[in-house]
Amino acid sequence: MAADKLHGDLVAALTAIPLIDPHSHIDPYAPTSRTLDDILGYHYYTELAHSAGMSQAPLAADVPPVERVRAILGHIDRFNNTAQYRWLIDILQSFLGWESNHVSAADADALFAKSEAVFGQADWEQQVFEKTNLEKIFLTNEFDDSLEGFDTARYVPCLRTDGLVFQLNLPVIRERLAKRTGIQVGDAATLRAAIRKLFEHFVAHGARACAISLPPSFTPVHIPSAEIDRVLSGFEPNDADAAVRASAVFWTIAECCREFALPFDLMIGVNRRVYRNGVYQGQDLFDSRTSLVQYQELFNAFPDVVFPVSVLSSFQNQELVSHSWIFPNVITSGHWWYSNIPTYIASDLRARLQAVPKTKQIGYYSDAYKLEFVRPKFGMYRSVLAHVLADEFVRPGILSETQAVELGRQLLRENVRQIFKI
Amino acid sequence: MAADKLHGDLVAALTAIPLIDPHSHIDPYAPTSRTLDDILGYHYYTELAHSAGMSQAPLAADVPPVERVRAILGHIDRFNNTAQYRWLIDILQSFLGWESNHVSAADADALFAKSEAVFGQADWEQQVFEKTNLEKIFLTNEFDDSLEGFDTARYVPCLRTDGLVFQLNLPVIRERLAKRTGIQVGDAATLRAAIRKLFEHFVAHGARACAISLPPSFTPVHIPSAEIDRVLSGFEPNDADAAVRASAVFWTIAECCREFALPFDLMIGVNRRVYRNGVYQGQDLFDSRTSLVQYQELFNAFPDVVFPVSVLSSFQNQELVSHSWIFPNVITSGHWWYSNIPTYIASDLRARLQAVPKTKQIGYYSDAYKLEFVRPKFGMYRSVLAHVLADEFVRPGILSETQAVELGRQLLRENVRQIFKI
Amino acid sequence: MAADKLHGDLVAALTAIPLIDPHSHIDPYAPTSRTLDDILGYHYYTELAHSAGMSQAPLAADVPPVERVRAILGHIDRFNNTAQYRWLIDILQSFLGWESNHVSAADADALFAKSEAVFGQADWEQQVFEKTNLEKIFLTNEFDDSLEGFDTARYVPCLRTDGLVFQLNLPVIRERLAKRTGIQVGDAATLRAAIRKLFEHFVAHGARACAISLPPSFTPVHIPSAEIDRVLSGFEPNDADAAVRASAVFWTIAECCREFALPFDLMIGVNRRVYRNGVYQGQDLFDSRTSLVQYQELFNAFPDVVFPVSVLSSFQNQELVSHSWIFPNVITSGHWWYSNIPTYIASDLRARLQAVPKTKQIGYYSDAYKLEFVRPKFGMYRSVLAHVLADEFVRPGILSETQAVELGRQLLRENVRQIFKI
C-alpha cells in the first residue's frame, strides 16, 4: 500500500495550503447555506434528480424546503454513483458529523433538522472558512451589483460581462447600465465611456478580474468605430447586428482590461437553453464544433492582457494546452462544469503538467454558489492532483515528495496570487 | 496481486449475471455459426485482413468456406495485436476447446473441421445460450422482415428504420412499404398511417425498440404537414428534398415511438461508403465535425420518448455524458463500433459512471451477427467494467465489492429490463 | 516493484533495437549541435520560455550564444514541469555527463562551456549515432535542396512539398522550380513534367518518402486538366484559385508517389501563423473543426499509394485509428507536435495497438532539428510503449515479455523498413 500512503501524504500536504478560490458565484450577503435545502438546491443535484426522473414540482418556490430535500433525496439512489454525490457525502461528513459513506431518502428529515441547527450558528461562515482552509474567494458580480457592505479582501469582486456583450439589445440592460454609469450608450464613444466607468468602480472596490462565458459560435474580431456607432444607434427586433455588436462590446471590454490591468477570464463553449424545460441552470450544454482558434485575433491583439481560459470538454482541453503553450497571454484555468469530474480532470491535468509552463496554470476554482461546496470540490481536485503528482513526478523519480507539493502549491495558490495580483 | 484478485472476483460475479443483449444483428432463423467461416466472416475480421493486405478475392461468394478461413487466418499474424483478435481467441477457447492463447495460418484446416463438428450439433444454439449466460437478445429487423417462426421472447424484435428515413426516394423501398402496410405513401397522412401500421405489427409481435443509425450531418427538425405533403408528392432524380423528407419521416417515427411507448435507439455519427471499395460492412467511418446539439429540437419535443444514444467516438462520448446528465430522456447506450475497444470503453465508462445517473446507462450490447460473439464481446466489456469498478469505487472505499457488483448489474441487466420494459 | 522491473526490462530491450528515424529536420551538413545554444534554440524551448515570459530579444541573431543560453535557462524554472524539460535533462545526462535531475539558470555558463568542448569533438556526429543506437534518419528536403555531399544511406532524403502545393502563386517558388527542373510551369502538362523531374531526381538520390504538412481546412479533390490549365495560366494578387491549385498540385504529387512507389507522409492539421508574433516555429496551432473524412477522395483514388498519416490531436487520433483500420493504404505515423507528450502518446498508442493491424503502425519519429534530440524523444516514446506493452499485453497474459518486445520492434523498426523499403 505504498502507493496509497504516498497519495495520502500528498493529499494531506496539499490540503494544508490555504486556498484562494478564483471563481465562484457566492452571494457575499448570504455566503453560506441556511439548511440542507441550499445544498441540495445546487443545480448539480436538481438537474441530476430531474434527469433521473424527478418532476420539477418540488423545485417550486412555495414548496417547503424540507419537502424539497425529501424529494431530491428520494431520487438520490438513482445517481449515487456520481462525483456530485461524493461532494454531498463530503459535506455531510465534514460539516454535519455524518459518519456513513452513503445517504438515502430515509435520512432526509434528520439531516434537514441537523443542517438547520449547524448552519444556523452565528459564526457558521467563519467556521466554514476555517474548515475549508479558505483565505479568499472571488465573486461573480453583475455590472450593477452593490460592492458595499462586505469585506472585499475576503470576497473579491469580479466584473461579469455576459449581459453587456450579448444582451445590450434588451432595453433593461441599457437602462441598468445608464443608471449605474449615468451614460446612455449610443455609439462607440459612449460605450467606451460607460464600460470604463464600470471598470473604475470595480477596481476601486478591489475587483481582481473581469469574466465572461461565451457560446461555441463566438469569434471575436475588432470592429471599426464607425461600425460600432452604427450597431449602437438602434436596435431592431430581429437584431441582425447581434454578432457585430457582441464583438464590439467584447473588444471594448478587453481594451479596458488592458488599461486597468485586469485579467479577462474567458469561459468558452456554453450553449444556453439547449434543454428548454430543464431546471434552473440545468439547461445548458456545449457543442464540439468549436475551436480556440476562433480567439486568435483577440490573443494577438492583446499581448498585455492575461486570459485565464476555461473550456467545457476534454478534447478542447488539448487546444487549450497548446494555445497556452504558445501564447504568453493564455492561461489554463480550472476544470469547468462538464469537465469537472475526476476522469476528465485527471487526463486534462496530466496534459497541462506535461506541456504548459507551471506558472501559467490556475489549478482549480470551485464555481460554488454556497461556501460549503468549496471544500468538497477542491478536495476532489486535490485527490486527482495528488494521483497525477505521484504517478508522473514522484514515482518516476523526477520530483521529491516535497518538490511535488511545491508544484501543487504553484497550481493551487501561487499562480492565483501572481496572476490576479493578490 | 490483491488487485488482480479483486478484478478476477468482480469479473466472476459480473459473469454470473444473465444477459439481456439489447442490440444485435442476429438472424433468428440462423442464429449460430455453421463453421469457422461464419466467425471469420464477421466484418471485423474481413476488414482487418483486407486493411492488412488481403485482397477481396477470398471473400467472393463462390469461394469454399475453408479456403476463406485459410486466407483470413493467413493474414492474422498482421493483426493479432487487436481487441478483435482477442474475441476470436475467446471463441476458440470457449466453444472449440482451443487451449493456446494464439492462432495462426497453420491452424486453419484443423479448426475449420472442429468448428463444423461442434457448431453442427443439434442443440448448438441452446449450448451457446447457456455458455454465454444469455437470456434474451434483441434483433435488428427491416420493416418488412417476418416476425413469425421464432421465439420473440428470446429473440426480441426491433424495428430498424434507416431505409424509411433515408431511402424513401427509392421506388423499391416505397413498394416494400406499400406491400407490407397496404398503404401507398404520398403525403403526411399516408406516411403516418403506414408507419403506425408498422408499429402496430411490430408491437403485436413483441418488439421492444425502434432503432436507426444516423449520419454525422443529420439534424432532425419538425416539418409542417404541408411541407411533408410536398416532399412526398414526387421524387426527383437529384432528390433536392432529401434532408427535409428524412426529417419528416424521422419525426413521424418519433411520434409513433411516443404513441406506442417504444424507446428509440439513436446510433449517431456513421458516414456510409467512405471507403467505396471496402469489404462488405467495412466501408463506413465517422466525422468529428458533428455534435449531439444537432438533436436538441428532438430531445425537447419528445420528453416522453426514451432515446438510448450510441456514439462513435470517445470525444463525442463527453457530449453524450453531458446530454444524458441534463436531458431526462437521453440514455447512454453501449460502446459502439470504433469506440468498442478496451481503452475507449474504459475512459468513456469512467465518465459515465462519474456523471450520469446509474439508472440511465445501458452498459453494453453485442452488435453481433452470430450468437457466438455475444460472449467474447460482453466478456471484454465486463473485464473493463471490473477494472473501473475496482479503481473508482471499491479501492477508494466508496462501495463494497458486493455493492460494486450491484452497480454492474444495473448497467448490464436491470436498466435494460427497465428501459425496454422486459 | 515487479511492475517497475517489467517496465525497466522492456525499456532496456526496446532500447537495444537500432533506430531508423523516419522523419526529422536534420541538416545533413550540420547534423549535430555546436553548443548548448543549438539545443536550447530548439523551438520547444524558445517558445516555452517566451510563453512563460521571456522577451524575444535574446533570440536575435546577433546575441552571443552564451547569452541566449543564460536567458532561456533563466526562465526554465517556469517550465521545468514539462516533458520538453525532461528531454533536456536526458541530453545533459546522456551527452554532457550531467548527474543532477535538474538544471537552473546558475548552470548556464558551465554547461555552455562543457557543451562547446564535447560537441566540438571531431567524431561527435559518430558518437551521437552510437549513443543513440541510430542507424538511419530521414531528412525533410525542399525540392531544390542539394542531395550531394552526404551519405544518403544514413541521411535519407525525403521530398517536402508544402511550398509547391500552397505557395506556387509566389514567383520565387515558381522560379526556384524552373531553375531546378528547367521547366516553366504554366499548365497541367508542365506541372506534371516538373514534378516528375523532382521525383526522378530525389529517387535517384535515395529518397524514400514524399511529405507535406496540411492545414485543417484542406480537402483534396481531383481537378480536371482543363481546370488545372486555367489555374496555372496566371496568378492574381488575391489568388482566388488558391484552393483549386493546391488540390491540383497535391493530386499530381500523389500521382507521382504512385508512379515512383514513394509513400506520401501526410501531416494533417496545422494552422500556420496563428500567433503572429510568436518565436520562429512557435506560431502554429491546430483547429478541432476538421476531419480525416476530408481525405476520403484521396484514399479511394490512390489504393496503391501508402499514406503514413500524422495528426495533431488526441481526438483526431481516434479518426486516424479508424481510418487505418479500414483503409489498406492509411498508416498511423508517430506522435506529432502537440500530441507528442506522454499522456497523449499513451492513450493514442493504446487505441492503435487495440484496433490497427500491427504492420500498419509507424511507432515514432523524432522530428528533430539536431541529432542530439533523437535519443531523448525516442526514449520518452519507448518508456510509454513499455508501459502500454506491460499493462495491455504482458500482465494480462496475452504476450510473453519476449513477444511484447517483438511487437515493439515491429513499431519501432520493422514497419519503417517495410513501408519505406529499406
Q: What is the DSSP string of A209-246?
A: EEEEEE-TT-------HHHHHHHHS---TT-TTHHHHH
What is the average per-residue pLDDT within B365-393? 98
Which architecture, in CATH terms, is A35-119? Orthogonal Bundle (1.10)
Residue A281 contacts C where some CB pair is shorter than 8 Å: no
DSSP H helices in A162-311: 162-166, 171-181, 188-204, 225-232, 242-260, 296-301
User: Would you tell me how many other CB atoms lie within 10 Å of the CB of residue B176?
Assistant: 16
Q: Cα separations (Å) of C208 from C25, C139, C193, C257, C368? A: 15, 10, 20, 10, 18
Which residues 76-95 in chain C show a CB within 8 A of chain A? 78-84, 86
A291, A319, A354 ranked by CB distance to C82: nearest: A354
At residue B404 the predicted structure's pLDDT band, cuts being 50, 70 and 90, is very high
Kindly report the backbone phi and psi dihedral angles of residue C332, in degrees, each rounded to the nearest multiple of 5, phi listed first.
-80, 135
Detail the DSSP E strand segments found in C104-175: 134-138, 155-156, 158-160
Measured distance CA(A222)–CA(A244) in Å, rounded:
9
Is A208 a residue whose pLDDT tops 60? yes
Mean pLDDT value of segment B44-67: 97
Burial A318-357 (b: 16+ CB within 10 A, else e): bbbbbbbbbbbbbbbbbbbbbbbbbbbbbbbbbbbbbbbb
Angle subtended by helix axes B83-96 and B374-389, to nearest 10: 120
Rounded to an integer, the average pLDDT of C357-362 is 98
Cell numbers describing residue B411? 448497467
Question: What pLDDT is recorded for position B79?
Answer: 98
What is the spatial order of strands in the sheet that A155-156 belongs to? A19-21, A134-138, A155-156
- Please indicate whether, in this complex, the C-beta atoms of A338 and B354 are within 8 angstroms of each other: no
| Closest by Cα among C311, B391, B422 to A4 | B391
Does the structure show a pLDDT above 90 at A197? yes
Contact with chain C for residue B286, Cβ under 8 A: yes
| Contact check, Cβ <8 Å, B338/C318 | yes
Residue ranges matching CATH 1.10.2020.10 in chain C: 35-119
Task: Name residues whose C-beta falls within 8 Å of residue B262's C-beta, 6 or more positions apart in sequence.
Answer: B159, B199, B203, B207, B208, B209, B210, B256
Is the ipTM reported for this complex over the cut 0.85? yes
Selected residue of A319, A411, A414 to mutate for chain C interface (largest C Cβ count, 10 A) = A319
User: Looking at the predicted structure, is the pLDDT value of residue A3 above 70?
Assistant: no
pLDDT for the residue A235: 85
What pLDDT score does A12 carry? 98
- Subunits with 3+ C-beta pairs closer than 8 A to B: A, C
The pLDDT of residue B234 is 86
Average pLDDT, chain C: 97
At B2 the pLDDT is 43
Q: Residue by residue, what is the 3-state secondary structure of B62-130?
A: CCCHHHHHHHHHCCHHHCCCCHHHHHHHHHHHHHHCCCCCCCCHHHHHHHHHHHHHHHCCCCHHHHHHH
Q: Where in chain A is the domain with CATH 3.20.20.140?
A: 136-419
For chain B, the C-alpha Rg in angstroms (whole number) is 22
User: What grid cell was written down for B61?
Assistant: 461468394
Q: What is the structure's pLDDT at C316?
A: 96
Residue B190 to residue C156: CA distance in whole angstroms: 68
Report the distance separating Cα C215 and Cα A245, nearest Å.
30
One-letter amino acid of A409: R
Mean pLDDT score, A235-262: 94
The single-letter code of the amino acid at A55 is S
Residue that the C-alpha cell 518538490 belongs to: A403
As a whole number of angstroms, the distance between CA A400 and CA A393 comes to 8
How high is the pLDDT of residue C2? Answer: 43
Chain B nearest C-alpha distance from C383 (Å): 19
> What local confidence, expressed as pLDDT, does residue A343 receive?
98
Which residue's entry shows cell 427538425? B221
Q: Do B285 and C359 touch (CB under 8 A)?
A: no
Alpha-carbon gap, residue C323 to B283, rounded angstroms: 10
Test mutation, C46, C81, C339, chain A, max A CBs within 10 A: C81
Contact A327, C277 (CB under 8 A): no
Average pLDDT over residues B335-362: 98
Residue contact A319–C342, C-beta within 8 A: no
Residue A401's SS3 state is helix
The three-point CA angle C290-C293-C294 to 5° equals: 65
Concatenating the DSSP letter of every residue in C195-218 gives HHHHHHHHHHTT--EEEEEE-TT-
Q: What are phi and psi of B212, to 5 degrees?
A: -160, 150
What does the mean pLDDT of chain B come to?
97
Question: Which ranges in B235-341 belong to alpha helices (H)?
Answer: 242-260, 296-301, 314-326
| In chain A, residues 336-375 whose CB comes closer than 8 Å to chain C | 347, 350-351, 353-360
Classify residue C302 as exposed, middle or buried by CB count within 10 Å of its CB (0-12, 13-18, 19+).
middle
C319 at interface of B, judged by CB pairs closer than 8 A: yes
A23 in contact with C at a CB cutoff of 8 Å? no
Element (H, E) at C351: helix C342-355
Q: Which chain A residues are Cβ-neighbours of C283 within 8 angstroms?
A: 326
Closest-CA distance, C26 to chain A, in angstroms, reads 23
Per-residue pLDDT at C226: 97
Q: What is the pLDDT of residue B73?
A: 98
Per the prediction, chain A carries an average pLDDT of 97
- Rounded to two decimals, the pTM is 0.98
CA-closest candidate to residue C371, choices C91, C181, C104: C91
With CA atoms as reference, the chain A residue closest to B347 would be A343
Whether residue B321 and residue A338 make contact (CB cut-off 8 A), yes or no, is yes
Tens digit of pLDDT for each residue in B3-42?
A: 589 999 999 999 999 999 999 999 999 999 999 999 999 9
pLDDT at C1 over 50: no
pLDDT in the model for residue B235: 85
> What are the pLDDT digits (tens) for C189-199?
999 999 999 99
**Residue A397 sits at the chain C interface (C-beta within 8 Å):** yes
For B104-124, the pLDDT digits (tens) are 999 999 999 999 999 999 999
> In this structure, what C-alpha cell is assigned to residue C245?
491549385
Nearest chain A Cα to B299, which residue?
A: A275
Q: Write down the pLDDT at residue B239.
A: 86
Please report which confidence band the pLDDT of residue A237 belongs to, taking 50, 70 and 90 as the band edges.
Answer: confident
Q: What is the mean pLDDT of residues B126-142?
A: 98
pLDDT of A239 reads 86
Residue type, C205: H
C-beta separation of B269 from B317 below 8 A: no
Chain B residue closest in CA terms to C410: B78
Nearest by Cα to A313 from B314, B138, C136, C318: B314
Which CATH code is given to the segment(s) C136-419? 3.20.20.140
- Across the interface, which of C78, C275, C339 has its CB nearest the CB of A358? C78
Mean pLDDT to the nearest integer, B209-226:
98
Q: What is the pLDDT of residue A1?
A: 34
Sequence-separated (6 or more) residues with CB below 8 Å from residue A151? none
Pick from A78, A288, A344: which is nearest to B316 by CB?
A288
B412: closest CA of chain C, how far (Å): 23
